[in-house]
Structure 1
Amino acid sequence: MDKTGAIVRVGIAYVLAFGAGGAWLAWGPRTSSLLLDGLMADLIATLVVFGASRMYRNSSFYDAYWSVLPPLLMVAWWVEIGSGGDRTRAWLVLGVIVFWSIRLTGNWLYAFPGLHHEDWRYAMIRERAGRAAVPADLFGIHVVPTLQVFAGMLPVYAVLTNTGRAVGGLDIVAFVIGVGAVLLAFCADLQMYRFVARRRPGQAMDRGLWSWSRHPNYFGEFAFWCALGLFGLAAAPQDWWWVLLGAIGMYAMFQGASIPMMEQRSLARRPEYQGVIDRVPRFVPRPPRRRNTLAGSESEHAA
């Protein structure tokens, strides 16, 4: 199956998934909370995508769900809540989310080779789970990321349900951080693609943004969710204790799972990567250590 055919199948799965989630919101039993209704619809859509993943034996069916769902969820909430009050902040949030969604989904469209390929981490998760491979696939690869993204959308719900505060300085900061985060991740991915096209076997990336952070794309993604959290704080400062849960969860995921897995793989495949670890910051971008300074420190230590 070629790439176009694979993307069409993924697209059909998403249409069915979002159709099922939308049907739940429109005609399914309601709870006492629109937030909980949105979560139920999100999980139903996730189960449809999981069914497609199992049908094609490829959990990368889920990859673009991460970036396609947030703008749709925000619009669904907005329609249900209505357009009363000052919605300037909501339009700013929607603009940042759509910008982020286009960038990340476009990156997936560019990099996705077809259904003959599956993210190596998914196979690792199922292999480690042994006989529990199917539950690990359902929860570890599909449901848990859905819950993480939903948590990241909590401040968006706060923005839509709290319209009494006018747009202020914190909103401007959040907007700038959100747009900057998307541009940072875009530039990092572009630099990596260009490097991969020309690198020699075993060479490790340590150029451009990747000389300031070993994972600038992850940092950009984290900064985007922080921006949503700041929008939530601007709309409902009294809810500070839950509007930042999504950003905290994203940070924990990157630091506790995504980055360790990527670095273990890079160390196994690229002998030069240990030198990158010694020089380049792990996550938050900052100037790298100079090679000569590092070499001098090692010499002093050896002496």
Structure 2
Amino acid sequence: MSTYPWAAALTNLWISAVVVVAIFAAALLVAVTVRKGRHDGIDVVWGGGFAIVAIVTVIVSAGSGDDWRRWLITALTVVWGLRLAIHIGRRNHGKPEDPRYVAIIKRAKGNPLLHIVRKVYLPQAVILWVVSLPVQLGQYGFADGALSVLVTVLGVLSWVVGFTFETVGDAQLAAFMADPSNKGQVMDRGLWRYTRHPNYFGDAAVWWGLTSLALHHGAGLIGLISAALMTWLLAKGTGAKLLESSIGRRRPGYVEYVQRTSGFIPLPPRKSIAKGSS
């Protein structure tokens, strides 16, 4: 295994940091000027930001890594990021501002704009850069042998599983929500029968796959922090936990759904727990 080109990779990291800052600064400018203080566009920027970082990296890393691996990582990241951005954009179109951002602004004790920058834009920019580390580091370094083949196969398989779960899960939920007869009901069909969050599980699997692709060299172990962070955010942080904090009050039957359905990893549904049982 060849020596890892740390100097080139570190240069890439500070370039990507500048790019991420520029992306979120542009998103803030659009939110304030074009969208008149509406900030849910940052959810679209999230997926698109990863795609941009991958493209920047494949350009900057030319000659510093295996071409096929560089383009594979870039392609998988761009496909995932653009799909997510387009899906969220379509989902939010024609709807009022996301209640989360309305609540954040209402809690502001000083300047509302500075408050949402500190609470939303800055944290998301930092998290995006950290989570994208395997996408960046994975495009550097040359490798051959069984290890390279193994991590590539495992990485692609994990990405395919994850991308399938989130794409199919989002499509199933969209079809369910589009049917007026399902208003106020709990989506417990298709993939949602086996996990309450197939889209979040899919995102996590995608990032474990991309992290695996970076393990052709020991430097890729740094990416394990990124995959773990993304998984925690989806399962316990701003993803599933935040979503479920109020949904039980809005949808009858959700408590029973929680009792029988896995919260994250897809599993066969449990038998319903009778009321009053311990």
Q: Where on the TM-score scale, by shorter chain, does this alignment land: which range? A: 0.7 to 0.9
Paired residue secondary structure (1:243): helix
Unaligned runs of 5+ in 1: 1-31
Aligned with 1:142 (options 121, 145, 152) = 121
Query: Hey, what's the Cα distance between the residues in 2 that align with 1:151 and 1:126?
Result: 26
Contact 2:54 2:77 in 1 (8 A): no
Aligned with 2:16 (options 17, 32, 38) = 38
The reply on whether 1:227 has 2:209 as its aligned counterpart is: yes
Letter in 2 for 1:202: G
Letter in 2 for 1:225: W
The reply on whether 1:62 has 2:42 as its aligned counterpart is: yes
What is the TM-score with the length of structure 1 in the denominator? 0.80
Query: Hey, what's the Cα distance between the residues in 2 that align with 1:76 and 1:300?
Result: 56
The reply on whether 1:157 has 2:136 as its aligned counterpart is: yes
1:248-284 CA-partner distances (Å, limit 9, x unpaired): 2112222123222211221121121111111111111
Contact 1:153 1:246 in 2 (8 A): yes
Query: Hey, what's the Cα distance between the residues in 2 that align with 1:98 and 1:145?
Result: 18
C-alpha distance 300-98 of structure 1, shift in aligned 2 (>3 A): closer
Query: Hey, what's the Cα distance between the residues in 1 that align with 2:220 and 2:201?
Result: 25
Please give the residue correspondences for 1:284-295 in structure 2 after superposition, counting only pairs within 5 Å: 284-291=265-272, 294-295=273-274
Determine the structure 1 residue equivalent to 2:187: 205
Percent identity of paired positions between Structure 1 and Structure 2: 24
Determine the structure 2 residue equivalent to 1:217: 199
Say which is worse superposed, 116-125 or 60-69, in terms of deviation. 116-125
What is the TM-score with the length of structure 2 in the denominator? 0.86
Paired residue secondary structure (1:257): coil
Determine the structure 2 residue equivalent to 1:124: 103
Letter in 1 for 2:227: A
Contact 1:153 1:228 in 2 (8 A): no
1:219, distance to aligned residue in structure 2 (A): 0.8
Contact 2:31 2:41 in 1 (8 A): yes
C-alpha distance 288-146 of structure 1, shift in aligned 2 (>3 A): same
Determine the structure 2 residue equivalent to 1:96: 76
The reply on whether 1:283 has 2:264 as its aligned counterpart is: yes
Determine the structure 1 residue equivalent to 2:6: none
Query: Hey, what's the Cα distance between the residues in 2 that align with 1:81 and 1:128?
Result: 43
